[in-house]
Amino acid sequence: MTGENGTGSDTTAAPSVAARDDLAGVVDLFDWLTRAELSHALSELAYKKRAEVDDDAIAAAIDVAVAEYTLVPAPPEALTEDGTEPTAVDDPDDGLDADGVALAVGPAAFPSLPDDAADLPHILDVPERGVDRAVLSEAVLARLSTDAVSAISESDVDRLEVLADVTYDIEAWAPVDATAIRDRIVAELDD
pLDDT band at 1 (very low <50, low <70, confident <90, very high): very low
Most confident of 7-11, 31-35, 42-46: 31-35
Phi, psi angle pair for 81, to nearest 5°:
-140, 120
pLDDT in tens, 89-124: 866 766 666 678 899 999 999 999 988 898 899 899
pLDDT in tens, 51-92: 887 888 889 999 999 999 999 999 999 999 988 877 678 667
pTM for the complete prediction? 0.86
